[in-house]
């Protein structure tokens, strides 16, 4: 619990505790994001105020984990949409299907994540929103602005969002296959930068979320991570190399494999460029020897 939150927000969080429904257990998430610069507090306040949140940052920096931490804090189930060029209205809103009832075939509408989240006052998490085709997203304009409504084109039903409905989106800037968000869509969000963790916050994550206990290996992993982040900022290697998620995988593997082998498979092999792979391994060899 974040004790620095205003009293009215703390009261609201307490009111939402223990409202569990076994039918939607698969939508419940677990927190675990370790904030930098009080990022969880800022986003938690924005969430409480019903503002749409856009998390910007490199791949593997913890955007999804931050969204899950907010869902856990407010005890809200979360519907997720993973955007791609194949995303269409049916993926967002739902689809019609034929079912058998009393020996007859009837057409029923299966509600999609947007409709379910709006009606039930849940969180809608839109991952990699800039991977979707620009012509797909305008269908959400009314959902994301003051109207909080949408007309379902498949049923003509007008849906007004529940007061507890919230939207969190994530964006990987400069990632292959992405397109810049248009200004109309971007203007509907409050935007937060999510950066790679470094130093003590990253060490805390390693201690809490991996099985690695060797202090020397952990310290070297931290130094390697800092070097990789610096090199990605210079443009020498792809952002994947500095992924916090990849580093945590390497730490787990290092419990049973040599650190160099762990780094090779958890970090280096994710890169497409052979030169970049070798760069990462050579850098790792300055800290670890087989």
Question: 3-state SS string over 19-76?
Answer: CCCHHHHHHCCCCCCCCCCCHHHHHHHHHHCCCCEEEECCCCCCHHHHHHHHHHHCCC
Highest-confidence segment of 4-18, 123-137, 247-261: 247-261
Residue 227 has pLDDT above 70, yes or no: yes
Given CA atoms 142, 185, 179, 59 in this order, what sign does their dihedral have? negative
Identify the band that residue 213 occupies on the pLDDT scale cut at 50, 70 and 90.
very high
Residue 32 has pLDDT above 90, yes or no: no
Distance of CA 126 to CAs 9, 105, 167, 172, 202, Å?
A: 24, 34, 8, 12, 26
What local confidence, expressed as pLDDT, does residue 25 receive?
64
Alpha carbons 129 and 172: distance in angstroms, whole number = 8
The Cα angle at residue 252 between residues 246 and 258, in degrees rounded to 5: 100
Identify the band that residue 201 occupies on the pLDDT scale cut at 50, 70 and 90.
confident
CB 89 within 8 A of CB 138: no
Number of residues that this document lists for the chain: 290
What local confidence, expressed as pLDDT, does residue 174 receive?
58
Domain extents for the chain? Answer: 7-193, 199-285
Instruction: Output the six-digit token pair for 114.
Output: 């947007």
What local confidence, expressed as pLDDT, does residue 1 receive?
54
Alpha carbons 97 and 88: distance in angstroms, whole number = 17
Q: Does domain 7-193 have CATH number 3.40.50.300?
A: yes
Of 78 and 172, more confident: 78
Alpha carbons 12 and 19: distance in angstroms, whole number = 13
Of 22 and 207, more confident: 207
Mean pLDDT of the chain: 88
Please state the separation of Cα 25 from the chain's center in Å: 19
pLDDT in tens, 44-69: 999 999 999 999 988 878 899 899 99
- Model confidence, pTM: 0.83
What local confidence, expressed as pLDDT, does residue 183 receive?
85
Identify the band that residue 33 occupies on the pLDDT scale cut at 50, 70 and 90.
low
Alpha carbons 17 and 96: distance in angstroms, whole number = 35
pLDDT in tens, 125-168: 999 998 888 788 888 999 999 999 999 999 999 999 999 999 99
């Amino acid at each position: 619990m974040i004790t620095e939150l205003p009293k009215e927000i703390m009261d609201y969080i307490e009111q939402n505790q223990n409202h569990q429904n076994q039918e939607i257990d698969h939508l419940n998430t677990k927190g675990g994001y370790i904030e930098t610069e009080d990022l969880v507090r800022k986003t938690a306040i924005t969430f409480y105020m019903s503002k749409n949140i856009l998390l910007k940052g490199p791949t593997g920096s913890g955007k999804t984990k931050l969204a899950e931490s907010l869902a856990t804090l407010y005890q809200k189930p979360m519907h997720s949409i993973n955007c791609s060029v194949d995303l269409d209205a049916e993926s967002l809103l739902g689809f019609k299907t034929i079912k058998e009832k009393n020996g007859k075939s009837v057409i029923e509408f299966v509600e999609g994540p947007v409709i379910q989240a709006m009606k039930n006052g849940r969180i809608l998490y839109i991952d990699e929103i800039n991977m979707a085709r620009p012509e797909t997203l305008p269908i959400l304009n009314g959902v994301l602005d003051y109207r909080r409504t949408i007309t379902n084109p498949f049923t003509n039903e007008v849906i007004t969002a529940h007061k507890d409905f919230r939207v969190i989106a994530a964006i990987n800037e400069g990632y292959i296959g992405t397109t810049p968000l248009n200004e109309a869509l971007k203007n509907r969000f409050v935007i937060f930068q999510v950066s790679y963790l470094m130093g003590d916050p990253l060490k805390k994550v390693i201690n809490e979320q991996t099985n690695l206990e060797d202090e020397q290996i952990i310290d070297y992993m931290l130094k390697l991570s800092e070097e990789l982040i610096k090199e990605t900022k210079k443009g020498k290697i792809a952002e994947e190399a500095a992924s916090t998620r990849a580093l945590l995988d390497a730490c787990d593997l290092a419990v049973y494999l040599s650190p160099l082998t762990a780094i090779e498979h958890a970090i280096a092999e994710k890169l497409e460029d052979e030169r970049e792979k070798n760069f990462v391994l050579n850098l790792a060899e300055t800290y670890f020897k087989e």
